[in-house]
């Protein structure tokens, strides 16, 4: 996936704040742009890909060290 157009560092943010911020950021992106999320909220590594699948957005999750994750989402045309 290409280099991110926007990066959200959501480490330390309590639920549901990360999900709200991710949805807001995706709304602002144009088709073909990539959002990168840095988080230490382990449930996001499964909930974000599920959200992306429902919207048809490609998504990659990478573990960074012991407690952080990097999630990249490409905004595509809605289904």
Domain boundaries along the sequence of the chain: 6-74
Read off the pLDDT of each residue in 55-70 and give the average, rounded to a whole number: 93
Give the pLDDT confidence of 15-45 residue by residue, as tens digits. 889 999 999 999 999 999 999 999 999 899 9
Q: Provide, rounded to the nearest whole percent, the portion of the chain with pLDDT above 90.
A: 78
- pLDDT (0 to 100) of residue 79: 59
**Confidence grade of residue 58 (pLDDT, cut at 50, 70, 90):** very high
Give the integer Cα–Cα distance in Å for 5 and 15: 24
Give the integer Cα–Cα distance in Å for 3 and 30: 14
- pLDDT (0 to 100) of residue 10: 96
Give the length of the chain.
79
Give the integer Cα–Cα distance in Å for 4 and 25: 12
What is the H or E stretch that residue 73 is in?
Answer: strand 68-74
Catalytic sites, residue numbers: 15
Assign domain 6-74 to a CATH class: alpha beta
């Amino acid at each position: 996936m290409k280099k991110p157009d926007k990066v959200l560092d959501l480490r330390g943010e309590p639920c549901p704040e990360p999900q709200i911020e991710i949805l807001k950021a995706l709304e602002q992106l144009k088709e073909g742009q990539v959002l990168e999320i840095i988080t230490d909220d382990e449930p996001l590594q499964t909930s974000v890909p599920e959200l992306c699948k429902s919207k048809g957005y490609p998504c990659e999750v990478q573990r960074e060290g012991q407690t952080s994750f990097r999630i990249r989402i490409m905004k595509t045309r809605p289904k």
